[in-house]
Copies of this chain bind each other. A is one copy, B any other.
Amino acid sequence: MKKAAAFLGIGTHNVYFVKADDQGKMIPEDLEIQVQKAKEEGAVPFLVAATSGTTVLGAFDPLDGIADICEKYNLWFHVDGSWGGSALLSRKYRKLLHGISRADSVAWNPHKMLMAGIQCCALLVKDNTDLLKRCHSAEASYLFQQDKFYDVRYDTGDKSIQCSRRADAFKFWMMWKALGTIGLEERVNRTLALSKYLATEIKKRDGFELLWEPEYANICFWYIPPSLREMDKKGPEYWQRLNQVAPTIKERMMKKGNMMIGYQPHRDKVNFFRQIVISPQVSREDMDFVLDEIELLGRDL
């Protein structure tokens, strides 16, 4: 949001950050506090951006509570469902996005969990007054002819920020036709079942520590090498050394060339691995391999 505000000329100082709870979910009460604070400062709040499926934790903001505040203060309600939006295709998991029907706009990347070829990003808007044309059209007469024999409202070139671009929507349309809604639902369910399997295995294994019980497909964990297991967990040396474990193992993975797993710190948590499974071709055995390999690469640390 900061980056977007900078780019659009709104300015990063005009972005108000709303507090999230320990699970990474936006706190609606704090949203209201920020709206009031902005108004008191003479600002004109106009948009709230919630997230369904955050990058690190895979957290889902409470959309209904946020929508209430947006309606109360007449704010545009945007949901960034780039990562989590695909849960809508699963009857089992769509409840994670309860309240999304109240959003004014939704961003969604079928190239993430659904595995449409990168890039495939959708912006869905509730508006039916040709908003995108009103925002973006420059009516370049040398490009967009009106004297055509078909309904030129379907020409999208003048409605997007870019002019000529790849027909990214086609990949998703094709995939949907091929797999069907049921096929896509299975893809989501299978991914989330495998994630649950990985989380369970992590809890079972010595030297592995799950940081949060996953709500989605983000499995965040530490690998604790034997040399650290006996140390005083409250001492600064423990955390300093643990902080170096994930980067070192990742370096070894990259040099060996058989795996890539992201890591990052988060708030008070030092560097931890974040494993995300999206391929429907991945099996439980692959999940076991991930843990075996981390152990193999890191047990001497």
Write the residues of chain A forming the contact surface with B, with a CB cutoff of 8 angstroms: 2-3, 6-10, 55-56, 118-119, 136, 138, 141-143, 145, 147-149, 161, 164-166, 244, 247, 250-251, 254, 263-266, 271
Contact = CB atoms under 8 A, between A and B. Distances in A.
A266 B142 contact: yes
Nearest to A56: B142
A118 B161 CA distance: 17
Of A9, A141, A148, A266, most B-chain CB atoms within 10 Å:
A9
A55 B55 CA distance: 40
A3 B147 CA distance: 23
A141 B266 CA distance: 8
A271 B147 contact: yes
Contacts of A161: 3, 7
A211 to B, nearest CB: 13
A8 B138 CA distance: 14
Contacts of A10: 9
Contact of A247 (B9, B145, B254, B265): B145
B251 A148 contact: yes
Given A7-B161, A145-B247, 10 more contacts: A2-B138, A3-B136, A3-B138, A7-B8, A55-B142, A55-B143, A141-B264, A145-B264, A148-B250, A149-B247
A92 to B, nearest CB: 27
B166 A264 contact: no
Nearest to A265: B141
A249 B7 CA distance: 43
Contacts of A265: 141
14 contacts: A7-B8, A7-B161, A9-B9, A55-B142, A56-B142, A119-B166, A141-B264, A143-B264, A147-B244, A147-B247, A147-B271, A148-B250, A148-B251, A149-B251
Contacts of A244: 147
A271 B142 CA distance: 10
Contacts of A55: 142-143
Those 3 A-B pairs whose CB atoms lie nearest each other, nearest first: A9-B9, A149-B251, A3-B138
A276 to B, nearest CB: 13
A112 B118 CA distance: 21
Contacts of A266: 142
Contacts of A148: 247, 250-251
B264 A142 contact: yes
A78 B136 CA distance: 22
A25 B281 CA distance: 56
Contacts of A9: 8-10
Contacts of A142: 55-56, 264, 266
